[in-house]
Amino acid sequence: MNRTDRLYALVEELRAISPRPRSARELAARFEVSVRTVERDISALQQSGVPIYAEPGRRGGYVLDKRMSLPPLNFTPAEAVAVAVALGRAADNPLASHARSALRKLLAAMPPPEDARARDLAARVHMVVEPEPYPRVSRVIEQALLHRRVLRIEYEDRKGQVTSREVEPAVFVGGRGGHWYLVGMCRLRQDARIFRLDRIGRAEETEEIAPEHPAERFATRIPEAVMGNPDLG
């Protein structure tokens, strides 16, 4: 995790548990850095205007102003576990890291009695089906979609032929068999194409801004991915 990502994650961690404090030692262990690094990061956030203050005492630590924290959530334990299971299934999709962050916030924002009961119930709920692993290139593609940048990829079709493509990304599609697909405009083919993510050997986000492609424009292609067409690139 680079420093920019860590600074953002620190704020989210403190936001999730506010108004409770988190010590520098706990934060250091959470992000696998030194206590000194955490102290420098907190100082940088404070200087940039983030309302973090130090709470003294044996159980003290760093606290984010409660006005930036989540209000108490009145979920029942069963409702919280249902949401947790749904978020847990996101381990194999483009929003996996955001789902984990949302789950931490949900549990942290529940009142203590319901929180404890939800955790107890969650310990008795197990996912039997192992999700398909999400391809390594997914993070690059996710960022390209977010920033609306042209992607440069290497794609292997079902015959084993590898081609280099420039793609204007549009949407992610979850298809049959646990596979995920990137739908976008392929400049090599000069047409809309669907790329199965586990066949993308390399992905690079370029600096070029991609034209905006509304998802509706690719509506006729999406059912093909959902049905698991074996070669759409």
Query: In this predicted model, what pLDDT tens digit does every residue of 93-110 receive, in sequence order?
Result: 556 666 766 766 666 666
Task: Examine the pLDDT at 50 and tell me if it is beyond 80.
Answer: yes
Position 145 scores a pLDDT of 81
Bigger pLDDT: 156 vs 216: 156
Looking at 14-18, 59-63, 146-150, 209-213, which range is the least confident one?
14-18
Bigger pLDDT: 22 vs 50: 22
Position 133 scores a pLDDT of 47
135 prior amide bond cis, ω within 30: no
Bigger pLDDT: 1 vs 205: 205
For residues 118-123, average pLDDT: 56
Position 194 scores a pLDDT of 86
Position 132 scores a pLDDT of 46
Position 130 scores a pLDDT of 41
Position 119 scores a pLDDT of 61
Q: What is the pLDDT of residues 137-189, one digit of tens each?
A: 777 887 888 788 999 999 998 888 999 999 998 887 766 666 778 888 999 99
Mean pLDDT of the chain: 76
Burial 73-100 (b: 16+ CB within 10 A, else e): bebebeebbebbeebbebbbbbebeebe
Q: Name beta bridge partners: 202.
A: 154
What is the pTM (predicted TM-score) of this model?
0.48
Task: Examine the pLDDT at 135 and tell me if it is beyond 60.
Answer: no
- Long-range (24+ apart) CB contacts under 8 A made by 63-67 are 63/14, 63/18, 63/19, 63/20, 63/21, 63/22, 64/11, 64/14, 64/15, 64/18, 65/18, 66/18, 66/19
For residues 109-136, average pLDDT: 54
Position 131 scores a pLDDT of 42
Question: Among 68-77, 153-162, 212-221, which range has the highest average pLDDT?
Answer: 153-162
Q: How far is CA 62 from the centre of its chain?
A: 25
